Amino acid sequence: MEYDVVIIGAGPAGYVAAIRAGQVGLKTAVVEKMYIGGMCLNWGCIPSKALLESAKMFNRVKVAEEFGIDGIDIQNLSFNWVKAKTRSTRITRKLTNGIQHLLKKNGVEIITGTARLGTDHSLFIDDKQIFAKNIIIATGSKPKAIEKTLENAPVIEMEKIFSLDSIPDNIVVTGNHISAVEMAQFFKLIGKKVTLIANSDYFMAGLDDYLVTIITRKLKSENIDLILNAYPEKYENGEIHIAGFKIKCDLLVNLNSRKAIIPESEIPFELTERGFIKTSKAFETSIKDVYAIGDVSGKSFVAHVASAQGIHIINHIKGIKGNFDDTTYPINMYTVPEISQIGMTEQFIKGIGIDYKISEFPLSINGKALIEGNTEGFIRMISDKKYGQVLGIQIVASNATDMIAEASAFMNLEATVYDVAKTIHAHPTVSEIYMEAGYDSFDKAIHL
């Protein structure tokens, strides 16, 4: 059997590429050994955010009296882990079933099994051999294993966290980036004692230093212990020994830095220094007409970029020309409040020597934020002083992960601060802070 395209992996990179391939008439198969939807839909993006939403609701109910709602006994409030994870699983099942439907609707064949690449564009899926003109590797990544010194600790991967019947009291999360911070806050929101160990000096790498400072302060204010650039020494008598401290640990959640999941291949891939599949700017590997997208290439670790890469590659295969711009994609954190960033960071702008200006506007005087009771946060816009072009936008707000989409539009259109200022926003809305930041950048915010 020969296909125009065979995609290995059915996560956000793979299944989106497969759907697009089917839409444009390519004979397509997607190979998935276990989970349609990949990590993102099965234990990452979707289910973890569903858990966070349950935790946010749990804490929101505690202030219901301020909104004129009586009859809630705060003393008897409790977080029901089983119901929360059941809701999360229900959402996941609905979405993964939907993806299977879309794959079939667009004529994509789903092959269950583990793929191995042969020569001459052949693939072996268990005892079956197929051929493809184009092969797309979209196998993703997984957290690096916990240190050997902690092998006897109560370690759990996010993939298995939904199998827990209950959540113990003392949680240690290990990791350096967004998912680690999100899960640390989740456990704290439901009343657990939490320690976050960032076991490298790359804590929140890629975010603006200003936002990293905000995150660090937020963790401290919530009594989440943050240990930076330290490596656990051992686990003994229910405690992790690290940097001269002993930390009680009933559960160790592994959200370490990620490593690529690379399929077996008779022709070895050229790898990067970090062990990801090396690709060209067009995402082609060292093997002709074999591409790598999503986490496995190490160029990005967010689902929306992986999906965009998938669409870009299929368009390329169909002869639709285009350049893939990976500089204007949003980075989102689903914490309380949410945090989003797009474009250049201040430290990057300083490094390349652009004369810039920062304009800010707080949520504390925004009408809609006051109405909602969500006044923690701000918008921070960085622009070029000479031409007024918007270079980067950062938002801290309860719905920042949705609001950043407007910033994405501005960035992709190479908008100026004048464009931002003259864009009319409905009143009252939190998004009015864009207009305020626009005016602040060249004159003065209207309401500040």
Instruction: Please give the positions annotated as active site.
Output: 427
User: CA 333 to CA 271: how far, in whole Å?
Assistant: 29
User: CA 48 to CA 423: how far, in whole Å?
Assistant: 35
Q: Which residue(s) pair with 157 in the sheet? A: 254
CB-based contacts of 173, cutoff 8 Å, min separation 6: 180, 183, 184, 187, 194, 195, 196, 197, 252, 253, 255
User: CA 445 to CA 199: how far, in whole Å?
Assistant: 41
Q: Which residue(s) pair with 297 in the sheet? A: none
- What is the edge-to-edge ordering of all strands in the sheet holding 245-248? 234-236, 239-242, 245-248
CB 360 within 8 A of CB 447: no
Nearest to 229 by CA among 242, 218, 238: 242
CB 297 within 8 A of CB 270: no
The one-letter code for the residue type at 59 is N
Q: What is the phi/psi pair of residue 156, to 5°?
A: -140, 140
Q: Which helix (H) or strand (E) holds 153?
A: none
CB 302 within 8 A of CB 206: no
Q: Which helix (H) or strand (E) holds 28?
A: strand 28-32
Print burial letters for 31-66: b (CB count within 10 Å at least 16), e (below 16).
bbbebbbbbbbbbbbbbbbbbbbbbbebeeeeeeee
How many other CB atoms sit within 10 Å of the CB of residue 217?
10
Print burial letters for 305-322: b (CB count within 10 Å at least 16), e (below 16).
bbbbbbbbbbbbbeeeee
The one-letter code for the residue type at 60 is R
User: CA 413 to CA 217: how far, in whole Å?
Assistant: 34
